[in-house]
Structure 1
């Protein structure tokens, strides 16, 4: 990619990711004010819209930070981890060695890597967990003569189409199925998995086609990059290797050790997030046992647990008391020795601890002094602050949507409009509704909890297969999460790759349209052909 510095490239100024999110936040606030007092009702979903106040608008981003604090801390520690890895020069040298061995065949890596990310997406909803891979893939693609946008495509689209075609993803199809079964609605999991695989294969093929075409074009002519010169300069400054490429490089023993630990860090992270017990694999919790404990809870206890500035405070009769039964694990199994939580049950707290420990280990293996380890880690964490703030601010939109009642207003009115429509109209209408809601509520688990108790029973009452309704949700939510500015994973990943949001939209919009059309066709055929 070094040849791009000699190419005349227009310096393009566009709105920053922060400005785009704040504009969207302001629009939500204005809409809520215009609709203040508007009532909505659909069966058990009822209420009125409350116009956003100046306080709720200004506090939305801060409350978004509170909501995303686990992800933000993970990103900061990841930054320190990557800083120490880069300090050893192992990653840059390793990439140079890899590119030399590929000998111009780097394009073969693209479908393979995208398939790996897609597997993570369809099995356990790999999304925020991919943030750490953006820097690695951007550096690799730049060294191979492409641009950092090519690297971001591999991660974002790979994991994205996997989530779109969720099969056993507990955070999407799992929660959606549970919401319906809890209401007494039977869900055919064979339909969920089968239709998920069809959506996954088709969307994966579309995504790989577009990525390969773009990468080939940029490799042949670097001026064809969609990135502005400012973005190219920023990515080169962050990830390009400035050393003499004519000299054949080799890894030292210390650098090889660093790379082995570096690879193990991400492999264990992926393994740790897959819900193995839900898939029937109990190897990581072998020897564990559990028992139920019952405790008495009061209204004050419930209020303290569920009080949230974005949702309001739950008010209950102070005299209310009840019994709460919880399952307590006596021994979490052999894999819980490090964090107290077995592999397969990790989340961001455990992953943050993991990367913190390995950052220290890599520093020792790389021969860094105690001062170098600490200073480099803090500098790397500091470099991630812009990414952290983007993730936090993007969550603010979802917070404001919930607190004003706009999310329930859209959902209730749309459900009333879809009632009584034919199969194809119902399918396309539901897809577009969930497409819209996904922009405002990027959390798949949150949207599933909100929408499925309404749309699932509606589909069943109209004689449609509820399992297909689950896949409509999964596909619509998955398509939007390829492009939405309210997703901290997208905005954070793009920031790591030094790519402006507008540049990503310019590339991804045609992919979103193509995949959306394909999904609506597949789902419409399924809704007509598969009986309830």
Structure 2
């Protein structure tokens, strides 16, 4: 498919429009769903306000949603989400300085040179590298590096689908495992009152399992199509590719000592953030401060002009502003639900519905709900703002650990970001890589079904082992 061709299909509304439609739905529901509330009590040990799940009552709505309430909720949603939004802006700004410095590209090139002549090792290394990028929350931020990886893989004689999958599946499984992914893990844990990045060990195990499954799937396809090009999903193009002199064309980046130190600094930031959040009780201000320190560190180590670095930081932060607004708009949904006093009613109704279904069926239903909802609201952090305030209290009522519910949310959110046609990041990656959506679905559907099945098994394991805060 030519890059000049326009992709045909349904045009879905922008994510902001989707959130406003959900807000409008809340207004309609406020006229239909009765208001209700649980008794709130302060836990004397944690000092956190919790629901008394034994005491629910319906109440008379005294503050109906007015015309201006609808639109001021947008402002209030952004303001109430400011801590999270600012932290994301600081992290994105610092990481963009690293990206623009060429350190990441240089690291990839060095990895490829070390693995020269070892095709399986190269594919494995690239997938793991992109998985690491995904698990620290790169997501769409990893898309600019996909063409580089594709050029290398296609240069070794593999087809375009193998090349695209090596990087894209890596991002998918890394983002889903969410070891230190603030967009899903961090936001969700913040909402339900868990230490940020707690449950680290379980998520690392999940990431390893996802990597093994994905590698076996991709390598099997790569081996099969290289042995018999007619079995390629893009067989016609692959035949033309093999007849040509395809080479891995990419601009070489030198892996200097300063770039090595810069990447080691990123590792230190991730480890330090996780330790600080879990052991020292750090919140958004401290995590933002860590990334501000890292930005200064990069300026010194990479000898970047401070003014240029500041401009780059601003550009990087600006890339995350749409996501930040999406988080605020998602919070607006909860503000309206809270004003209409129907959040507790929803929790109570769901708990009554699921109370006698058994834990396995309950977890499966909730898992499918997140997967389905992701079709309409792809933003992981924005969706967490809508679902976790309901799923968190629901988990307490049904006897499910909060950490298990966060894992369920992560696994339900991540994979389909790279499958649903409503995902702007996926469609951008496909367009940049000249890969047809139908061909991608044909290749990836079976893999993602397997990954979802394994993810649900892991959710059950987490539930039955009583996966706790840490």
Query: Which range, TM-score by smaller chain?
Result: 0.5 to 0.7
Shift of the 81–527 alpha-carbon distance from structure 1 to 2, 3 Å rule, reads: closer
**Native 8 Å contact 2:74 2:332 kept in 1:** yes
Which residue is equivalent to 1:56? 70
1:70 counterpart = 2:87 = yes
CA offset at residue 75 of structure 1?
1.7
1:404 counterpart = 2:398 = no
**Native 8 Å contact 1:28 1:401 kept in 2:** yes
Shift of the 98–81 alpha-carbon distance from structure 1 to 2, 3 Å rule, reads: closer
In the alignment of these two chains, the number of paired residues is 396
Mapping 1:352-371, distance limit 5 Å: 352-364=292-304, 370=305
Shift of the 278–31 alpha-carbon distance from structure 1 to 2, 3 Å rule, reads: closer
The answer for unaligned runs of 5 or more in structure 1 is 1-6, 180-188, 226-239, 244-248, 280-284, 286-326, 328-340, 365-369, 460-465
The one-character-per-residue Cα deviations of 1:401-460 (angstroms, maximum 9, x if unpaired) are 21121655543321121122344433333434565678769456986565333332333x
Q: Give the secondary-structure state (helix, strand or coil) at the position aligned to 1:275.
A: helix
CA offset at residue 175 of structure 1?
8.0
Distance 1:264 1:395 in 2: 30
Distance 2:77 2:193 in 1: 29
CA offset at residue 74 of structure 1?
3.0
CA offset at residue 479 of structure 1?
2.1
State which of 74, 88, 99 in structure 1 corresponds to 2:112.
Answer: 99
Which residue is equivalent to 1:452? 392
CA offset at residue 24 of structure 1?
1.4
1:256 counterpart = 2:256 = yes
Distance 1:15 1:355 in 2: 42
**Native 8 Å contact 2:19 2:333 kept in 1:** no
**Native 8 Å contact 2:177 2:411 kept in 1:** yes
**Native 8 Å contact 1:150 1:211 kept in 2:** yes
**Native 8 Å contact 1:60 1:397 kept in 2:** yes
CA offset at residue 357 of structure 1?
3.6
Q: Give the secondary-structure state (helix, strand or coil) at the position aligned to 1:347.
A: helix
TM-score of the superposition, structure 1-length normalised?
Answer: 0.56
Which residue is equivalent to 1:382? 315
Distance 1:431 1:521 in 2: 11
Distance 1:380 1:152 in 2: 26
Shift of the 424–377 alpha-carbon distance from structure 1 to 2, 3 Å rule, reads: closer
The one-character-per-residue Cα deviations of 1:369-409 (angstroms, maximum 9, x if unpaired) are x4xx6347525743763x32331232144212211216555
1:477 counterpart = 2:414 = no
State which of 356, 361, 374 in structure 2 corresponds to 1:420.
Answer: 356
Which residue is equivalent to 1:157? 173
Shift of the 474–75 alpha-carbon distance from structure 1 to 2, 3 Å rule, reads: same
Q: Give the secondary-structure state (helix, strand or coil) at the position aligned to 1:144.
A: helix
**Native 8 Å contact 1:73 1:352 kept in 2:** yes
Shift of the 194–207 alpha-carbon distance from structure 1 to 2, 3 Å rule, reads: same
Shift of the 390–515 alpha-carbon distance from structure 1 to 2, 3 Å rule, reads: same
The one-character-per-residue Cα deviations of 1:222-244 (angstroms, maximum 9, x if unpaired) are x968xxxxxxxxxxxxxx9665x
**Native 8 Å contact 1:482 1:512 kept in 2:** yes
Shift of the 520–268 alpha-carbon distance from structure 1 to 2, 3 Å rule, reads: closer
Which residue is equivalent to 2:146? 138
Mapping 1:200-349, distance limit 5 Å: 202-209=209-216, 251=254, 256-275=256-275, 278=278, 346-349=286-289
Which residue is equivalent to 1:113? 129
Distance 2:13 2:398 in 1: 38
Shift of the 151–199 alpha-carbon distance from structure 1 to 2, 3 Å rule, reads: closer
Which residue is equivalent to 1:31? 25
Distance 2:25 2:316 in 1: 36
